[in-house]
A and B are shown apart, each in its own frame.
Chain A
Amino acid sequence: MNDDLKLMKETVRDFSAKNIENIALKIEREGIDKDLLKKLAEQGFLGATAPQEYGGSELDGASYRAILEELSSFSPSVGVLVFLYNSIASKLLKKGKAADYLKEILSGESTLGFGYGEILEGYVNSTGNKGSDENGILKKDVIFPTANKFIVLDESGQNLILTNGKIEKPKNKKTLGIRGLGISDVTIEKSNNEKLGLRSDIVKALEDSSLEIAAIYLGIIKGALNKAIEYAKVRTTFDHYLKDYSPMAFSLSNLKAEEELLRSYIYESENDYARGLNALIFSESLSKRATKQALQTHGGYGYLEDFGVEKFYRDAMTISTILFRGRRDRKRLSDEVFGTEAGNL
């Protein structure tokens, strides 16, 4: 890791320690607020890789991944937001009013939500006029439903549009993870849409972002394991520190070793589709194992939100559902490994 990258990581870490750590629980309960968005924008994190003319920082890939890793180690929700803005929105909001809107979101003035369910699953998951007023369409499972505008599929199911919308307050339900953004239904306006491109554009953007998603997982792994390691040093049971027991020490240090290998791999890879997939598949599995062990290390306290460790357990699973696309990504890796179509049956 070169000095520039080290400095970048340190900068993001200092920023997060100062601006995220103290409100991490509030982010989980109430969502990411405007104040934090502004600060993220001022630091240039919100538009890490976006063109400067839209207020972006045009950073290189490794610096961008460093931002994703460090932010996610404090709040995975913040990491996912930065990812969605840079890896998805910046690639789609390129012309006319859409480009103006990109400027607004990258400055933290406005916000952007994503009708990810139907976009990723590939079918229109909306309910027409049912349950909404005549000008609106209810879209299910939108990420960041409190946003001002949304990227969703149009009625054909093929085109992406930028549109206004309003959250349908979820009844008695919090999302499993990324609670800083939330996932809920949104009623979007039928008119006043900006065409952005094809559904396949977003799928491609996502499939080209394996290393970045792996960087989010890496942050989750780091955040969870570091908490567990610190706790194991101070918590005693049966007259000894947790760290002194071999199963606990071996398990946490093995996971930490895997984390280190993943980190080297992520920062040494660039624009390599196959390496990206390797990192994605490995980091997804590691994030689940590491967050589970981190929670278990904390015992009953780990089960309470105040200790800030259960959120990693929830977020690892949630991100694996929305960004890592399970079997589809495993199949992509199989195709790469076999050099031909594989794993369809």
Chain B
Amino acid sequence: MDFELSDELKDFRKMVREFALAEFTSEVARKRDFEESYPDDLRIKSLQKGIIDFANPWKTMVAIEELCRVDAGLGISVTVPYFGAEVIMLFGNDSQKEKYLSEVNRGKKMMGLAVTEPGGGSDVAANKTEAVKSGNKYILNGSKMFITNGQIADFFVMLARTSKADPAKKHRGMSTFIVESKFKGFSSNKLEGKLGVRATNTAELILNNVEVPEENLIGEEGKGFYYIMTFFNISRVFVAAQAIGVAQGALDRTLEYLKNNAPSGEMQNEYVQFTLSDMATRIEAARLLMYKAASYLFQFKPNPTITSMAKGYASETAVFASEKAMELTGLYGLSGDLERYFRDAKIMEIWEGTSEVEKLIIARMLEKESDSSE
């Protein structure tokens, strides 16, 4: 057992941190947060600097943490243009990978994942969007909610129902498609007024008789639900990285305040010291859980229990740390950059499966595992 990252990863982490500190200035972060506008310039820059390397998942995870540590809105914005790519990588065919993923990898195109529906939330099996086969294409009707990159992505990996829902087994009969935003009948409305991660683009998608060619079906018909659940087992590790970045950044900035801006003696107060220790301990515990989940996953032995633990605990830690940071920094945090961490952190407990869903997964796995253990 070795708790150290490789030297290569350590150097990479340092490089990403330097990039984030140089590019994610307070001014840029505030502007994007205030305007709710997507930082396309930073997306391109991060690509040019080699911050994003999807061939190496460890690097991706480290990059997400380090970028979100400086600013979650910007950090997520530059790492999310590939969101959903794993579905095509794992289950798509060669021509789909060539046609769609290669352009995303070169930064020429952006993609998104369109699973959640209005009123659906984490209950993916309750989805209503329909795909009806007609000749050599599928006709899609329905809507999608809270879709990241919803207005700016060129195409989406989209989940739709290809056969009527069996009330007892609703997760069956769903399929995944590649749907281009330029297809006729596709439209999107930007969702404004988010509490946090406001640099990211979020939209509602409307599908009105959208014709999708049959070659855009990913994998097999009827297996969409499983593909998406497999994807969530991957993406939850990356959301844990976002959350740990937010938590660590909140701690960084609290320490910076206590050392440089606080009234003297503040750092020696035990209430302050105990709070800092709690923050740091939880962050470290969350990070170790994430490394364990990543270690299983990146060796192609995903462990959903550990993954859900990592995502759930890291999210709670982000909320906890950003709250404590506000309490320790008072006015400084309120009028400075820390309040943004407090707003950004809360989404971690909601997206990619709410904390409640993570707990359900853990409990179900415990039940299952206890059946098979001696």
Contact = CB atoms under 8 A, between A and B. Distances in A.
Interface in B19-37: 27, 30-31, 33-35
A292 B350 CA distance: 12
A329 to B, nearest CB: 12
Contact of A317 (B119, B193, B323): B323
Contacts of B31: 172
A117 B330 CA distance: 10
Contact of B34 (A173, A239, A247, A302): A173
Nearest to A318: B334
Which secondary structure dominates chain B's binding surface? helix
B356 A247 contact: yes
A303 interface: yes
Interface residues of B, number: 44
A183 B335 contact: yes
A226 interface: no
Given A174-B34, A237-B123, A299-B350, A117 B331 contact: yes
B313 interface: no
A69 interface: no
Contacts of B270: 345
Interface stretch (A44-52, A54-62, A304-312): A304-312
A187 interface: no
A145 to B, nearest CB: 12
Nearest to A239: B126
Interface in B131-159: 145-146
Interface in A322-345: 322, 325-327, 330, 343, 345
A304 B330 contact: no
Contacts of B30: 171-173
Contacts of A171: 30
Contacts, number: 103
A175 B123 contact: no
Nearest to B170: A239
Contacts of A306: 193
Contacts of B319: 292
Which secondary structure dominates chain A's binding surface? helix
A343 B269 CA distance: 9
Contact of B335 (A140, A238, A296): A140
A296 B327 contact: no
Contact of A183 (B191, B323, B334, B351): B334
Interface in A105-143: 117, 120-121, 140-141
Contacts of A245: 356
Given A299-B121, A313-B195, A176 B346 contact: no
A300 interface: yes
Contacts of A326: 327, 330
20 contacts: A117-B335, A140-B335, A172-B31, A172-B33, A172-B35, A236-B119, A237-B121, A237-B126, A288-B323, A295-B195, A295-B346, A299-B350, A300-B351, A303-B194, A303-B195, A304-B193, A313-B195, A321-B330, A325-B330, A327-B269
Interface of A: 117, 120-121, 140-141, 171-176, 183, 235-239, 245, 247-248, 288, 292, 295-296, 299-300, 302-306, 310, 313-314, 317-318, 320-322, 325-327, 330, 343, 345
Interface of B: 27, 30-31, 33-35, 116, 119, 121-123, 125-126, 145-146, 191, 193-196, 269-271, 319, 323, 326-327, 330-331, 333-335, 339, 342-343, 346-347, 349-351, 354-356, 359
Which 10 A-B pairs have CB atoms at the shortest separation, nearest pair first?
A305-B193, A172-B34, A176-B339, A172-B30, A310-B195, A300-B146, A237-B123, A172-B31, A299-B121, A321-B334
